[in-house]
């Protein structure tokens, strides 16, 4: 079995040949979050999103020496108008269960923080499910703060379609 610790692993940018690993790891996250019924993305979808003509997302992978990637940080850029600076939104952070508590999640977040600092980003944002106590404790240990003055909202499905179509009730 490959080494499980961060020191014996590489954190690297994903490449097009990593698409099967990206797909597998994000599916693993969906399973962990009990959202597998919402997981509809294909390998082709990930290829288009990360490596298509207009990349919409980027990914770092945690890869132990001698083995396949076992962790992922999938992210994209947003923009903060008040400071007129870019931000990074961490969409997904996942490490396979057998490799947790060995520093790989921290190594992925460190790589993301290094990218944010190098690119003069103002901050990194992400969401965490309320029931995910281990992740919340981990993020708190890093100094991440909970936003209490904001409510997260989503517009999707029929409501999104109705608004796009000009529905006066939207």
SS3 of 82, please? coil
> Could you give the percent of the chain with pLDDT greater than 90?
78
Give counts: helices (H), strands (E), the chain.
5, 5
Q: Which of 32, 76, 99, 139 is catalytic?
A: 139
Question: Are 3 and 9 in contact, with CB atoms under 8 Å apart?
Answer: yes
Please give the pLDDT value at position 56. 97
Query: What six digits make up the tokens of 143?
Result: 């100094």
What is the reported pLDDT for 3?
65
DSSP bridge partners of 59: 74
Q: Write the pLDDT tens digit of every residue in 26-66.
A: 999 999 999 999 999 999 999 999 999 999 999 999 999 98
Q: Are 108 and 11 in contact (CB under 8 A)?
A: yes
- Asked whether residue 32 is assigned to any structural domain, the reply reads yes
Is residue 62 assigned to a domain? yes
What's the domain count of the chain?
A: 1
How sure is the predictor about 80, in pLDDT bands with cuts at 50, 70 and 90? Answer: very high
Question: 92, 75, 88, 76: which is closest to 117 by C-alpha?
Answer: 88
Contact (CB, 8 A) for 86 and 120: yes
Residue found by looking up tokens 């060995």 in the block: 102
Res. 136: pLDDT tops 80: yes
Q: Establish if 105 belongs to a structural domain.
A: yes
Share of the chain above pLDDT 70, in %: 94
In a domain, residue 170? The reply is no
Asked if the structure places residue 106 within a domain, the reply is yes
* Domain presence at residue 97: yes
What's 63's domain CATH number? 3.40.630.30
Q: Reply yes or no on whether 77 is catalytic.
A: no
Range of the domain at 82: 6-164
169 belongs to a structural domain: no
pLDDT tops 80 at residue 160 = yes
Is 89 domain-assigned? yes
| 68: pLDDT strictly greater than 70 | yes
According to the model, what pLDDT value does residue 69 have? 98
Q: What pLDDT is recorded for position 20?
A: 98
Residue 66 C-beta-side C-alpha neighbours within 13 Å: 6
Q: In angstroms, rounded to a whole number, what is the distance separating the alpha carbons of residues 94 and 33?
A: 10
Could you tell me the pTM of the whole model? 0.90
Q: Which helix (H) or strand (E) holds 64?
A: strand 58-64
């Amino acid at each position: 079995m490959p080494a499980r610790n961060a020191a014996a692993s590489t954190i690297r940018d994903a490449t097009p040949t990593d698409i099967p690993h990206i797909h597998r790891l994000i599916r693993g996250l969906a399973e962990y979050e009990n959202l597998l019924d919402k997981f509809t993305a294909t390998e082709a979808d990930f290829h288009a999103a990360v490596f298509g003509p207009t990349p919409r997302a980027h990914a770092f992978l945690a890869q132990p020496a001698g083995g396949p990637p076992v962790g992922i940080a999938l992210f994209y850029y947003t923009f903060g108008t008040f400071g007129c600076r870019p931000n990074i939104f961490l969409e997904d952070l996942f490490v396979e269960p057998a490799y947790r508590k060995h520093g790989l999640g921290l190594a992925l977040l460190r790589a993301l923080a290094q990218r944010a600092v190098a690119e003069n980003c103002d901050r990194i944002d992400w969401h965490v499910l309320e029931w995910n106590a281990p992740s919340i404790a981990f993020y708190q240990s890093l100094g991440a703060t909970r936003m209490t003055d904001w409510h997260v909202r989503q517009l999707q499905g029929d409501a999104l379609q109705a608004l796009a179509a000009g529905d006066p009730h939207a």
